[in-house]
Structure 1
Amino acid sequence: MSRRAPKASIDPDVRKSWLRRALPLVKAHRGLLITSLVLSFVGLIVQVQIPNLVRIGIDDAIVERTGRLATYVLAIVGLALLQGLINYLARLYLLRTAYEMEYDLRNIVYAHLVRMPFGFYDRVQSGELMSRSASDVRAVQMYLSFGPSILVQCLIAVVAFVLMLSINVPLAIVAMVTMPIIGVLGVSMRKAIFPVSWLIQARLAQLATVVDENIQGVRIVKAFAAEGRQLRTLAESADRIRWAYLQDARIRSRWNPLLDNLPRLGLALVLLVGGLMVIEGNTTVGTIVAFNSYVLMLQPPFRLLGMMIMMGQRASASARRIYEILDTPSEIRDDPHPVERPLRGDLVFADVSFAYPNGTVALDGLNLSLKAGETVAVVGGTGSGKSTLGRLAARFYDVTSGRITIDGIDVRKIKLSALREQVGIVPDEPFLFSLSIHDNIAYGRPHATRREVIEAAVAAGADEFILELPEGYETVVGERGYTLSGGQRQRIAIARALIVDPPILVLDDATSAIDVGVEQRIHGTLRERMRGRTTLIVAHRLSTISLADRVVLMADGRVIADGTHSSLLASEPRYAEVLAAATSSAEDVSA
């Protein structure tokens, strides 16, 4: 089934209430919703006719014996069957409406999340986002779809009251005397339960964060034998949720019995007053039976009304948490008139300064130029700003000051999708999806042929080990690719970038986990693939640096030396120190 776009979005006006902001979503599905509500209302009309028919049947066929009992029985059975059919159709359309709204709301949230820049994810916990995209979305959907249906169900009280008035006005007033009290109690319950609903949703998100971090970091947890400590952390988070749920339970246990039992008090009053009226000859036995049925009909709507109040508070809290995401603007957006054309690859960093959201300064007035087709290796110590170059070139972040241009065009003027299609990045810790190796390599080109995938894998030195796997290119890797070694993941990541064939390629220490012998074997194909392509290599190994036409040395976010490997080695002692430190570190790791 092909994916369709959401039919509506959330109103961006933050001054409106959460419900008014969600109205466009409801209006987009009003056809299904209105059909469901109309059917529900028709079902209620049919339902309230049954007690009245029972009243007439008792008085006519049993008390006065002027009519046939079988006629009334058949009529009641017919109405019951009709009501069942109508309720089936109403429920079917209501559930379709609910799931359509949920589909749209999830897609609205996800579409916004994928537009957010890296800086947003540096600040926000993934478990928090998962909670808001799952349980919070469901809470809002439940209220938007089932809330109107519950209101229609509550209309049975109005319809029943009108019918009771037409039968016996004093008895109808007696039957409804408790209803205003229920309304006052419902408002009081709403005020009491809102803060607890917010607290529950917030603490569920905290628990989701703990669980997510433990699942993602399970290897670290086990490596440090920290299972007990993490279980205590989870237990503490679960205890906080339990406390919030207990507060919610106390509020419900205090208010729900009153909301449930007040209609039963009405039943007792009807029996008392109606019985006296029958004794005095002012009404009939059938009327009392009918009124008892009507009073019983009033109980479910008012119970549903209490549930709707709680659903509303939960939905209000959840909607505000979702809106916190949707109202967070993306700092990185397309220019109003973006450039979208093929790029040659002239890459220039002009007086670029950049600091990460946490305040860490990565680049400080950096100047660097790469000509189209040139391969440049960037060398420097930890924290010198090497990896930041590629992230800024692909506009994962925007520069704090200065500008980055490709072919003389500021990257902020280039359409984001076009820019990222033409700036390929291979990180040092690549992420693989729980898909087949073929699909992981073809991720940037989903319709790539098997031949193209194999060619990219051969160029990355991955074909040999892939063919040794049980199902070759159809082997499904485990989550994040942890069923493969670090070097194998890096080679697949290189193949994934090469198959897109970008004019600019950034290899961010992309062969750091690959054996030197294997790395040397793939250098030949990499040289061929890099010919005519602007390539920025963040490097530590001499073997990787040998791929470059020139070498740039960075320190403290600036370029402090630029030249060939041999010239820098002869003239720049800091270059030799960085290489020596990198070589020593690599030897320690291999040992």
Structure 2
Amino acid sequence: MSAPPLYRAPKSTIDPDQSSRSWLRRALPVVLAHKGLLLTSLALSLVGLLVQVQIPNVLRLGIDDALVARTAGLDRYVWWLAGLAVAQGFVNYLARRYLLRTAYEIEYDLRNIMYAHLIRMPYGFYDRVQTGELMSRSSSDIRAVQMYLAFGPSILVQCLIAVFAFALMVSIDPLLAVVAMATMPVIALMGVWMRKAIFPVSWLIQSRLAQVATVVDEAINGVRIVKAFAGEQRQVTALASAADRVRWAYRRDAFIRSRWSPTLENLPRLGLAMVLLCGGWMAIEGHASVGAIVAFNSYVLMLQPPFRMLGMMIMMGQRAAASAQRIYEVLDTGSEIAERADPVRTGIRGDIEFAGVDFAYPDGTVALRGLDLRIPAGTTVAVVGRTGSGKSTVAKLLARYYDATAGAVRLDGRDVRDYALDTLRDQVGIVPDEPFLFSVSIRDNIAFGRPDASLAEVMAAAEAAGADGFVRALPDGYDTVIGERGYTLSGGQRQRVAIARALLVNPPVLVLDDATSAVDVHVEQRIHDALRGLLHGRTTIIVAHRLSTIALADTVVLIEDGRVAAQGAHAELVAGEPRYTEVLATMQSGRDRVDSGIDQGVAA
């Protein structure tokens, strides 16, 4: 059984409706899942604005009553201003705190939604996409969407200060209020133009950032190959080329911002000049008070930050729209490996059948052509053939990493597509020829399929895989943390850890895909001796590239051009099947070269 999730699942997810909903409406369920925090933040921001717009009005009254008319004491207005300032600061602190909590909660949900989807996608998906693209969409694109979803509503609330300020200005002097707001329609129109100009550039920036991430990811993961072929300068050049394309896109973005943002930010200052001109004339003529002119100046100055933020919000919105579409491209990609509505979750014995199976990889490479093969439960079968004959594909179809293009793969008489994926993969253990290890302890790597396994069980699996000896010799034994992908271990050591990982799960069906190719003959023999007892009663498929591995099998299956060319005991095939002896000769020749390389490495 699969381990239950150990993390807090997102409260909601992205709306799957692609056709009738905008990107923002599709993301709305994620935002509404945290509406309590968000609405609290917005309400506090609104209270802060109401307090802020009162300050110029109190200042107006103080000037007109205490300084001009001298009908009231100045200290009362000073205390009012100080109290309003303290209240505004405290309310804004709370609003900011709740807003940041909302932002982090939304980001948490988006990242988990994205990761959960990626982890469910089948092999074929990863054959088509680049890791750097996925990393970019899972990091910078999510951050762009999160910023807009969390801070966009707050910016809109901040812009309400224009409404409150206008209402107070109208209550003080309607004519002067109209003069102060005369530039607002122009600002709104320019905002629309700016939004249209920024969107395509925002998409281009995110796409080219993903290209940079791809170059970096491939260079880091392939650093050993890069160094082996002295390709450092070529990789630096490739990165510089990708970075140059990003720079061009950022320059274009900066050009658009420099063209529109200063105008958006400074148009309210034109309103300030008009207020001073008209208000000054009205004050001279006795139609307005000095306090009113000072208050209007303060209100017009209050309009500048919201409109500066409005310009920023437009740019954030276009960046978020471009990023959301890139994220949705991934989330809207369905898995071709789907479960039945009511999948089978019962255990299996291990009776395997391939009936007329055809299969081609996503790139069009044909691997199997009408494969017919029956493997009774509890038997061990060695699958041999030339490179590219389709041997490893058999294991991938059995565990449903891919689905057959035609025909059927059956376990205990049932199509593998009838089983729940977790049930199927719990019971079909695969040890690949190039095992992947995580950057955790060796114990955790072996126990990956059974996190609750005891140390004694882990050690028993390692002993059976021939790994216990070298693990105990490490500085921290089973608690030794290995490097990324296990590269601090040798290839043979990685393979033995991978075998132990599969054996610990104890699946009824085990596939060894050339799982001992990187170990020397003596270690391989010890592993085989241990495996002979463990394979008894277990259905085992051994994808063999060595003569010594075939000795573990009850039956040998020769595959050529994606079909079963011959099947029988090793001695029978040697005696009566020329194609089998040719394959054996090729395998022996390749083994001799490998052994020669190992001997030279040991001598060195």
Q: Give the TM-score taking structure 1 as reference length.
A: 0.99
Compute the displacement of 1:306 (Å). Answer: 0.4
Contact kept in structure 1, 2:520 and 2:595, CA below 8 Å: no
- The correspondence of residues 323-472 of structure 1 with structure 2, limited to 5 A, is 323-472=328-477
- Could you list the per-position Cα deviations for residues 399-438 of structure 1 after superposition, in whole angstroms to 9, with x for gaps in the alignment? 0001011111110000001000000000000000000000
Q: 1 CA distance for matches of 2:578 and 2:356? A: 25
1:562 is paired with a residue of what secondary structure?
strand
Compute the displacement of 1:502 (Å). Answer: 0.5
Compute the displacement of 1:2 (Å). Answer: 4.7
- 1:5 matched residue in structure 2: 9
1:444 is paired with a residue of what secondary structure?
coil
Tell me, yes or no, if structure 1 residue 33 matches structure 2 residue 38: yes
Q: Unaligned 5+ residue runs, structure 2?
A: 597-604
Q: Quick one: which amino acid aligns to residue 356 of structure 2? A: D
Contact kept in structure 1, 2:383 and 2:558, CA below 8 Å: yes
- Could you list the per-position Cα deviations for residues 238-260 of structure 1 after superposition, in whole angstroms to 9, with x for gaps in the alignment? 00000000000000000011011
Q: 1 CA distance for matches of 2:575 and 2:72? A: 117
Deviating runs (4+, > 3 A) in structure 1?
Answer: none
- 1:113 matched residue in structure 2: 118
- 2:269 matched residue in structure 1: 264
Compute the displacement of 1:64 (Å). Answer: 1.6
Compute the displacement of 1:589 (Å). Answer: 2.5
Contact kept in structure 1, 2:510 and 2:541, CA below 8 Å: yes
> Which of 282, 286, 302 in structure 1 is aligned with 2:307?
302
1:152 is paired with a residue of what secondary structure?
helix
> Which of 187, 201, 205 in structure 1 is aligned with 2:206?
201
1:366 is paired with a residue of what secondary structure?
strand
Tell me, yes or no, if structure 1 residue 289 matches structure 2 residue 265: no
Q: 2 CA distance for matches of 1:219 and 1:284? A: 78
Contact kept in structure 1, 2:428 and 2:510, CA below 8 Å: yes
Q: Quick one: which amino acid aligns to residue 336 of structure 1? A: A
- 2:136 matched residue in structure 1: 131
Q: Quick one: which amino acid aligns to residue 364 of structure 1? A: R
Q: Give the TM-score taking structure 2 as reference length.
A: 0.97
Q: Quick one: which amino acid aligns to residue 7 of structure 2? A: R
- Could you list the per-position Cα deviations for residues 108-156 of structure 1 after superposition, in whole angstroms to 9, with x for gaps in the alignment? 1111111111011000001000100111111111111111110000000
- Could you list the per-position Cα deviations for residues 227-283 of structure 1 after superposition, in whole angstroms to 9, with x for gaps in the alignment? 111111111100000000000000000001101111111111111111111111111
Compute the displacement of 1:590 (Å). Answer: 2.8
Q: Quick one: which amino acid aligns to residue 130 of structure 2? A: Q
- Could you list the per-position Cα deviations for residues 322-362 of structure 1 after superposition, in whole angstroms to 9, with x for gaps in the alignment? 11111111100111110001111101111111000011110
2:407 is paired with a residue of what secondary structure?
strand
- 2:323 matched residue in structure 1: 318
Q: 2 CA distance for matches of 1:316 and 1:300? A: 24
Q: Unaligned 5+ residue runs, structure 1?
A: none
- 1:248 matched residue in structure 2: 253
- 2:18 matched residue in structure 1: 14
Q: 1 CA distance for matches of 2:28 and 2:235? A: 42
Q: 2 CA distance for matches of 1:466 and 1:516? A: 19
Tell me, yes or no, if structure 1 residue 582 matches structure 2 residue 587: yes
Compute the displacement of 1:528 (Å). Answer: 1.2
- 2:61 matched residue in structure 1: 56
Contact kept in structure 1, 2:547 and 2:587, CA below 8 Å: no
Compute the displacement of 1:472 (Å). Answer: 0.5
Contact kept in structure 1, 2:357 and 2:408, CA below 8 Å: yes
Aligned length: 591
> Which of 505, 512, 528 in structure 2 is aligned with 1:507?
512
1:328 is paired with a residue of what secondary structure?
coil
Q: 2 CA distance for matches of 1:266 and 1:234? A: 48
Q: 2 CA distance for matches of 1:406 and 1:542? A: 28
- 1:76 matched residue in structure 2: 81
Closer, same or farther in 2 for the Cα pair 1:517/1:19, shift >3 Å?
Answer: same
Q: 2 CA distance for matches of 1:136 and 1:313? A: 12
Q: 2 CA distance for matches of 1:109 and 1:261? A: 40
1:443 is paired with a residue of what secondary structure?
coil
- Could you list the per-position Cα deviations for residues 533-578 of structure 1 after superposition, in whole angstroms to 9, with x for gaps in the alignment? 1000001212111111111111100111111111111111111111
Q: 2 CA distance for matches of 1:2 and 1:74? A: 54
2:45 is paired with a residue of what secondary structure?
helix
Sequence identity percentage: 70
- 2:282 matched residue in structure 1: 277
Compute the displacement of 1:67 (Å). Answer: 1.4
